[in-house]
Structure 1
């Protein structure tokens, strides 16, 4: 992985986050920058990947650091995908939350085949009430 620098606890500019989301293919409300800002303000584990001061990847989680961690977003700019950046963001997330904490996520349909390759088990015992907006 080139000279990629990973940082924990840094909240990038909203415009940088939106650029990563739009490039990555992840579906997020990027036309609503206030909502993106609020998403990050209310998250407590953010890990970023930087190349030459350019944000190229990000993971955003909500966790109690002792039982459960919800990995809300994992996004890497398209030109840097398949280089292990997402895998490293998840590895760092796991390190931060510790072995007692379950790492949980909802996958985008296009990523369903990705997560089992990097160590996630598919679960069948979950439920969701979907957002309406």
Structure 2
């Protein structure tokens, strides 16, 4: 069955938690309410589906004209290296628009992935980390 990409479907917290845990994405997966809030307050979510199974997601916060923060990019391990992450990024860039910069913070394990899909490593970022 081919992978189907959707912009109009927000996955359940349970689907997201399974995906994040399987993909090793460090998110608060023990707190379903916080996951729900993360998605409720995101304004660009693109998902990848194999039938009824969520196999990938791109979750963003954007103003649609200057910047788009790619907060989460995750692909189920059994579906990695099939171009799903690259396609999710491509659809994110397309939806965000030509005037909009897409930026992200990478987990250490993905630092070599992002240059392969068109991102430039930056040395000028700052973070004020959350307390919990």
TM bracket, shorter-chain basis: over 0.9
Structure 2 counterpart of 1:56: 55
Q: How far off is 1:119 after superposition?
A: 0.4
Gaps of 5+ in 1: none
Query: Aligned pairs, how many?
Result: 132
Structure 2 counterpart of 1:38: 37
Structure 2 counterpart of 1:66: 65
**Would you say 1:79 and 2:78 are equivalent positions?**
yes
Gaps of 5+ in 2: none
Q: How far off is 1:125 after superposition?
A: 1.2
Measure, in 2, the Cα distance between the counterparts of 1:52 and 1:78: 17
Which consecutive segments of 4 or more residues in structure 1 shift more than 6 A?
Answer: none
Q: How far off is 1:131 after superposition?
A: 1.1
Q: How far off is 1:9 after superposition?
A: 2.9
1:28 is paired with a residue of what secondary structure? coil
- Root-mean-square deviation (CA), in Å? 0.8
Per-residue deviation, residues 89-120 of structure 1 (Å, max 9, x unmatched): 00000000111000000000000000001100
Structure 1 counterpart of 2:10: 11
Structure 2 counterpart of 1:117: 116
Q: How far off is 1:53 after superposition?
A: 1.5
Measure, in 2, the Cα distance between the counterparts of 1:18 and 1:78: 14
| TM-score (norm. length: structure 1) | 0.97
Measure, in 1, the Cα distance between the counterparts of 2:11 and 2:125: 32
Q: How far off is 1:25 after superposition?
A: 1.1
- For the 8 Å contact 1:9–1:45, the answer to whether it is kept is no
